[in-house]
Amino acid sequence: MMFFNLHTHHFTDSGVVELVNQYPDEFDENIPLYSIGIHPWRIEAADVVTQLHFIETKLTDSHCLAIGECGLDKRIETPLEKQIPVFEAQLLLAEKYKKPVIIHCVAAFQEVIELKNKLGISIPMIIHGFSKNIQVARSLLDNGFYISFGKYLLRNPELAAVFAAVPNDRFFLETDTIEEGIEQVYAVAAKAKGIETETLQEILNKSFIEVFQQTRNS
For the stretch 26-50, pLDDT in tens is 999 999 999 999 999 999 999 999 9
pLDDT band per the 50, 70, 90 thresholds, residue 218:
very low
Which whole-number Å values give the CA distances from 73 to 39, 70, 176, in the listed order? 10, 10, 17
CATH number of domain containing 170? 3.20.20.140
What letter does residue 72 receive in the DSSP assignment?
E
pTM: 0.96
pLDDT of residue 214: 60
The parent domain of residue 177 ranges over: 4-216
Contacts by 25-31, CB closer than 8 A, 24 or more apart: 25/51, 27/54, 27/58, 31/63
Peptide bond into 69 cis (omega under 30): yes
CA distance 86 to 89: 5
**Rounded CA separation 76/100 (Å):** 25
- Is 95 a known ligand-binding residue? no
Consult the annotation and say whether 104 binds a ligand.
yes
Rg, the chain, Cα only: 16
pLDDT digit string (tens) for 100-133?
999 999 999 999 999 999 999 999 999 999 999 9
Please count the structural domains in the chain. 1
Residue 176, annotated ligand binder? yes
